[in-house]
Structure 1
């Protein structure tokens, strides 16, 4: 396997860790297990292996999974895929997440060995708090993360779905111990730009925290295929077809943006999906990276292709203006 070296890398937060501007989201590797894992249809391990291999070959060097994705099945599937690839996969970076619901911060240290075991002993380069609701405070959660850092169980700390205040608090607690908050993973796309208005983006820029955008294509809406063929909505497996953007009114509202993405795709000789992803990882400099998923090989090709060009400032701004007319900001 030949890993691409042509993809520019950027720092994860204040760390020395260099990551590609796109990682691979691995929620879809959940094998259909658990409440969260049933969001996606079950994937065959052979297909998962191929998707991970193609991603690495294309220059994507990190993978985002989580404990709650299939109750560890996504982590296991990722580890198995990396093992099937062999030595070149040893440099693959792994981000996973602790699930806080109905738990206290002590669970972070108690469950870390389960995470390492699910990942077949591979290094956890980024360990994240999956969401801000638990039976413990942010302070106690970060203190638990410090224990893991000192024990060399994890390399860096991140959070997910944290608002501005909680993100700042997490960074403050870590700073007292000589560490830093590397990232905040939030929902962000051309159709959901809430983090630009709620203070998260500005605080991240000030503190040197990387924003990891999940659902960067709004579950496929930004590809344009559902606008051209609305009957495809009925064929979607899982609950995402009930999201507002998939309804007729949602498709109609977002059509001006979809039309512009199609226009830019023709200009650059790429796909609409690649235009949407390229905008996301360049409009805010190097602050925002994204984790599109991939359940089929052609999805991987789309992701890789988005790393091969850069939109002009004029096109970035034009897409920004049209997006503002249809996106959510609250």
Structure 2
């Protein structure tokens, strides 16, 4: 689940979302210090504790925010991260993006220091290009620490990681790609195609993006129609088909972190892996989403 929304939700709603996720077999939660300035981490920890979870029951991923900072702040801020998530440990600590007042080598060294000090278990990155990911992988390798993941924007309406070298590099190096926004902010559900007036309810600048324009909706309509056709055959939703394709088409390389703002979203996300797409279904969805490579 994506922690960025939690600080804006009532605590009862957050608990419902986390509870539904846990009941469905999800035991991995992603957050970041920049989500609510640490509030998301605190809410996640408190919610898991109320639900009776203990350290070791779940996997926690968080992120260091590099903007206007240098690598030294990785070590300086880890205490705050650990305190916010207490009693749960940090299983995966990620560099949120590649732009900082320090080199990738320096950031990798700071992360490796935390691993060797026992403060975090593993290291990941987020929004790193293929070359930046390779640099981080090489820098960590010098310290005997693997780069385990790169969190990237990836969905059927944005498949750029397949054409810009990120996917190929991840497969070569054995790095897991964590897909954020895997449902394209709800576009892959088809609800905006059915009722374009809903676009006006979108918060922030997203509603002005070309994919929400009439021409953008028309461009993605053939894919949405196919997702619905496949969904009907399996007794599931278009969103579930989109998620299923994402985590299976490239073998074991891609995992997804769909967000949720209500319990039903979490339950739908859980159900996305409860069926198997045929090779023909995988191929057809691939074909219709290729304009978005």
Distance 1:87 1:304 in 2: 19
User: Structure 1 residue 304: deviation in Å?
Assistant: 0.6
SS in 1 for 2:225: helix
Q: How does 1:117-266 map to 2 (within 5 A)?
A: 117-266=83-232
Q: 1:291 aligns with which of 257, 262, 271?
A: 257
User: Structure 2-normalised TM-score?
Assistant: 0.97
1:49–1:81 CA contact under 8 A, matched in 2: yes
Partner of 1:322 in structure 2?
Answer: 288
RMSD (Å), alpha carbons: 1.1
User: Structure 1 residue 101: deviation in Å?
Assistant: 0.3
- Deviation track 1:113-139 (CA, whole Å, cap 9, x = no partner) reads 101111123110000000000000000
Q: Which moved more, 1:188-197 or 1:82-91?
A: 82-91
Unaligned regions of 5+ residues in structure 2, if any?
none
- Deviation track 1:233-255 (CA, whole Å, cap 9, x = no partner) reads 11223432222212222111110
User: Structure 1 residue 50: deviation in Å?
Assistant: 1.1
Distance 2:56 2:143 in 1: 30
Q: Are residues 290 and 156 of structure 1, via their aligned partners in 2, closer, same or farther at CA, if it must alter by over 3 Å? A: same
SS in 2 for 1:63: strand
User: Structure 1 residue 203: deviation in Å?
Assistant: 0.7
2:54–2:88 CA contact under 8 A, matched in 1: no
User: Structure 1-normalised TM-score?
Assistant: 0.87
Partner of 1:18 in structure 2?
Answer: none
Unaligned regions of 5+ residues in structure 1, if any?
1-23, 32-41
Q: How does 1:264-279 map to 2 (within 5 A)?
A: 264-279=230-245
- Deviation track 1:174-208 (CA, whole Å, cap 9, x = no partner) reads 11121110000010000101111111101100110
